[in-house]
A and B are shown apart, each in its own frame.
Chain A
Amino acid sequence: MERSRRSFLKILGISTLGLGTLSAVDLLAKAEMGKAEYSPNPKGMTGKRWALVVDVKKLDEETTQKAIEACHLIHNVPDYGDEEEIKWIWTDKYEHVFPGQEHAYLAEEIEEKPFLLLCNHCSNPPCVRVCPTQATWQRGDGIVMMDQHRCIGCRYCMAACPFGARSFNWKDPRTTYFKDKEPPNPKYPTRTKGVVEKCNLCAERLAVGEMPACVEAVKDSKAIVFGDLEDPHSEARELLHERFAIRRRPELGTSPNVYYIV
């Protein structure tokens, strides 16, 4: 009995070694292949802290809809219109955008104004802090990215985000919303059920040197300005220097990078 156990352990050891060698061979094979390289697109936009400055005065129902539509068409965002809604960019009223800062004598103009909401791409993002798989993380340029390949759907990030910027795919968009219609953009994926999604600040567009879709859509009105806050000459930075702007829930310390000129 003792002996057979020992020999069993030996076999186990040898086979582990074998597996190790196999993976080493695998690595060697890859090294042989490995002249291939990856590089970023030279046309891509680079920055250190991307931010959006939203000029609320310039926003009306029509402009906001243009921005929202551009984003949702490009990213194949379904519109469920129920409690399982997916939100990348959307509007809400002042009292819901800045809860606790509303009062009974609020200027009428502000009270009914549609505020554009999206992920704040916080400098200190709690969603990134809590994610157990690094499915969401912060890039060097400040964008809080989401890797739907990696997400396990625990929804910890949704509990952590104080801005309600994250949505979960409770159902499969392909078999529900896009069942009878094609996803509008055949160049961009949809999502699968069970993963979290949110605004990615058009990382895929910045990579080829294009502005975020929402910014592009309303560029005539200049209602949304995009730029690098670490660059003192960027349009966004200059605008913030000239005009008074506020951010959502600054007291929470997440340091949002979406500014509102009211």
Chain B
Amino acid sequence: MLETALKGSKKYWILIGVLFGLHGIGVTAFLYQLNKGLTVTGMSRDVSWGLYIAQFTFLVGVAASAVMVVLPYYLHNVKEFGKITILGEFLAVAAVNMCLMFILVDLGKPMRMLNVILHPTPNSILFWDMVVLNGYLFLNIIIGWVVLSAERKQVEPPKWVKPLIYLSIPWAVSIHTVTAFLYAGLPGRHFWLTAIMAARFLASAFAAGPALLILLCLIVRRVSKFDPGKEAIQKVANIVIYALIISIFFVLLEIFTAFYSQIPGHMHGFVYTFVGLNGYGNLVPWTWASAVMAVVATLMLLCPPLRKNETTLAISCLLVFFSLWIEKGITLVITGFIPNPFDTITEYVPTLPEVAITVGIWATGFLILTILYKIAVSVKEEIAS
């Protein structure tokens, strides 16, 4: 099937070229970082994780969200999703790839990465994250590829793939749970030390991921002859709004606990992100942008005419995606380090090389996504004709 990715319109090749160019910029910046060390980033002794780990965290959610189309289709026989499960799975593949790349560039000694396998350490959540992420990657590659191949030959997919599909459902939940555990189990980081962290992660993931999937479906319909189907998109939109409301609800729960209990450590993080703490407030505009976008998107999605109209739906989905990208891809991780263990504040601003590497990885992910979607769409078009 790979050959279908080698034949495409001029626009397709321009897109590939642009993404490849950005990938190149990212690689160049990464080589620079390898040479100089992570000093080229904005991270510091106090804020020791930054944009990279935050992007990783957000993208684990995008990856996990594939389950939101797979589960209804395979467990509840929601026929509309039959056409788009492959889009969900391939999105997961691209997202997990980005996750792995973001971890790689965050390591101080990336060439020693395999020490995690050479000296397996089950008490480390990071070890389990490596296990579940790689497992999820392979599950989705195999499932997506096998099912699509069968579809192309217009036969039933082989029986052995069914158990893998069922396995991929809890596995999707596991990747984001384990990622939440990275944060939720650390003593002294009050902003992260919350039992509903995994639940929050899943809720925001099931809003952001499917929102992106809707946008991708709309793009696919526009640039190809394959139509994911209006009903499927509407059903995904329902998932987005439910998940978004639950996600906002969870954040409000956190805020209640912090501010009703009035325990300083629990309040500091929220104070820092929403209004600034002791005169430091780099994240305040981001936090409010995220909050406003989430509220506007909720209202828009709750309003049936706006949800059914695909233009306003697309706008809502963009708002959801960027709102949650800010929440998980910026504020949540950085605020965990503020204030530091000495109750003082060091702020964090990413540097140019750091941003270049981040953009490069996003571009690489979208390059993978473009190629996989091209294959999927070509197969769908082939069957239709």
- Chain B residue with Cβ nearest A252: B187
Q: Say if the beta carbon of B278 comes within 8 Å of chain A.
A: no
Question: In the complex, which residues of chain A have a beta carbon less than 8 angstroms from the beta carbon of B186?
Answer: 126, 130, 159-160, 162
Whether A193 lies near B108 (C-beta < 8 A) is yes
Q: In the complex, A31→B35 CA distance in Å?
A: 41
Whether B126 lies near A156 (C-beta < 8 A) is yes
Whether B189 lies near A159 (C-beta < 8 A) is yes
Question: In the complex, which residues of chain B have a beta carbon less than 8 angstroms from the beta carbon of A170?
Answer: 37-39, 41, 43-44
Q: Mark A218-262, 1 if CB is under 8 A from B, else 0.
A: 000000000000000000000000000000010011100000000
Stretch at the interface among B15-23, B78-86, B110-118: B110-118
Whether B342 lies near A164 (C-beta < 8 A) is yes
A138 to chain B, nearest CB (A): 12
- Chain A residue with Cβ nearest B114: A152
Stretch at the interface among A43-51, A66-74, A93-101: A93-101
Known contacts A83-B346, A153-B107: A163-B36 contact under CB 8 Å: no
Whether B108 lies near A152 (C-beta < 8 A) is yes
Known contacts A132-B116, A133-B119, A249-B188: A159-B49 contact under CB 8 Å: yes
Among candidates B39, B109, B337, B342, residue contacting A153 with C-beta atoms closer than 8 Å: B109
Question: In the complex, which residues of chain A have a beta carbon less than 8 angstroms from the beta carbon of B113?
Answer: 152
Question: In the complex, which residues of chain A have a beta carbon less than 8 angstroms from the beta carbon of B109?
Answer: 151-153, 194-195
Question: In the complex, which residues of chain B have a beta carbon less than 8 angstroms from the beta carbon of A153?
Answer: 38, 107-109, 112
- Chain B residue with Cβ nearest A98: B343
Q: In the complex, A133→B121 CA distance in Å?
A: 6
Q: Say if the beta carbon of B291 comes within 8 Å of chain A.
A: no
Among candidates A154, A161, A167, A172, residue contacting B37 with C-beta atoms closer than 8 Å: A172
Question: In the complex, which residues of chain B have a beta carbon less than 8 angstroms from the beta carbon of A97?
Answer: 342
Q: Say if the beta carbon of A158 comes within 8 Å of chain B.
A: yes
**Number of A-B residue pairs with CB-CB distance less than 8 Å in the complex they form:** 138
Q: Say if the beta carbon of B385 comes within 8 Å of chain A.
A: no
Whether B188 lies near A162 (C-beta < 8 A) is yes
Question: In the complex, which residues of chain A have a beta carbon less than 8 angstroms from the beta carbon of B188?
Answer: 161-163, 249, 252
Whether B116 lies near A85 (C-beta < 8 A) is no
Whether B108 lies near A159 (C-beta < 8 A) is no
A189 to chain B, nearest CB (A): 16
Question: In the complex, which residues of chain A have a beta carbon less than 8 angstroms from the beta carbon of B327?
Answer: none
Question: In the complex, which residues of chain A have a beta carbon less than 8 angstroms from the beta carbon of B38?
Answer: 153, 168, 170, 193-194
Chain A interface, number of residues (Cβ within 8 angstroms): 46
Whether B108 lies near A164 (C-beta < 8 A) is no
Q: Say if the beta carbon of A131 comes within 8 Å of chain B.
A: yes
Q: Say if the beta carbon of A190 comes within 8 Å of chain B.
A: no
Q: In the complex, A62→B76 CA distance in Å?
A: 73
Known contacts A132-B127, A155-B48: A95-B108 contact under CB 8 Å: no
Q: In the complex, A96→B43 CA distance in Å?
A: 21
A45 to chain B, nearest CB (A): 28
Q: Mark B325-349, 1 if CB is under 8 A from A, else 0.
A: 0000000000011001111101000
Known contacts A83-B44, A168-B108, A194-B109: A132-B126 contact under CB 8 Å: yes
B335 to chain A, nearest CB (A): 13
Whether B108 lies near A169 (C-beta < 8 A) is yes
Q: In the complex, A240→B216 CA distance in Å?
A: 65
Q: Say if the beta carbon of B264 comes within 8 Å of chain A.
A: yes
A7 to chain B, nearest CB (A): 25
Query: Within B119-158, which residues are at the interface with A (CB < 8 Å)?
Result: 119, 121, 123-127, 130
Q: Say if the beta carbon of B265 comes within 8 Å of chain A.
A: yes
Whether B123 lies near A129 (C-beta < 8 A) is yes
By a beta-carbon cutoff of 8 Å, the part of chain A in contact with chain B is 83-85, 87, 92, 95-97, 99-100, 126, 129-135, 150-156, 158-164, 167-172, 193-196, 249, 252-254
By a beta-carbon cutoff of 8 Å, the part of chain B in contact with chain A is 36-39, 41, 43-46, 48-49, 103, 106-110, 112-113, 115-116, 118-119, 121, 123-127, 130, 182-183, 185-189, 264-265, 336-337, 340-344, 346
Further contacts, 17 of them, CB under 8 A, given A126-B186, A254-B187? A83-B45, A84-B44, A84-B45, A92-B342, A95-B343, A96-B343, A99-B343, A132-B121, A133-B121, A152-B110, A156-B182, A159-B189, A162-B189, A170-B38, A171-B39, A194-B107, A196-B108
Some 24 contacts from A to B, beta carbons below 8 A apart, are A84-B39, A84-B45, A100-B265, A130-B186, A131-B124, A132-B116, A132-B126, A151-B109, A151-B112, A152-B116, A153-B109, A154-B126, A156-B126, A159-B189, A159-B336, A159-B337, A160-B187, A164-B340, A164-B342, A168-B48, A170-B37, A171-B36, A193-B38, A194-B107
